[in-house]
Amino acid sequence: MARKPKLKVVDSFSSSEEKQYFRCLHRLLDEIFKEATNNFEMTWKELAEQSGLTYITVKKLGDRDTRYPRFFTVFKLAEAVGWQLTLTAGKKISKKTKMKAAS
């Protein structure tokens, strides 16, 4: 019998890159919600319908109940307000470079 894959428990992140990633997603969500409400005068229910997500998902994201949103969810919300998102890989920064920059 095949073993079930072990899933990473997303309780707390140790790497600063992961923390920064989720901070960026939350900032992006804030901008998407501002765009939807200010420029399109959408309610969260309308945003949910436009994005194809459930109202509960949009409400949890808007209320910041979701600590670790998935990129695909954010992507769908961005599309609902007419944005195009592109995910690119950043350069890996060595510890020596980080230490020099901090000095």
pLDDT tens digits, one per residue of 43-95? 999 999 999 999 999 999 999 999 899 989 999 999 999 999 887 776 665 55
pLDDT tens digits, one per residue of 31-51? 999 999 999 999 999 999 999
**Spatial separation of the C-alpha atoms in residues 101 and 38, rounded to whole Å:** 39
Contacts with 97 (C-beta within 8 Å, 6 or more apart), sequence order:
none
Question: Which tokens go with 53?
Answer: 């997500």
pLDDT for the residue numbered 16: 81
CATH for 16-102, options being 1.10.3470, 1.10.260, 3.30.56, 1.10.720: 1.10.260
pLDDT for the residue numbered 19: 85
**Spatial separation of the C-alpha atoms in residues 61 and 28, rounded to whole Å:** 11
pLDDT for the residue numbered 7: 45
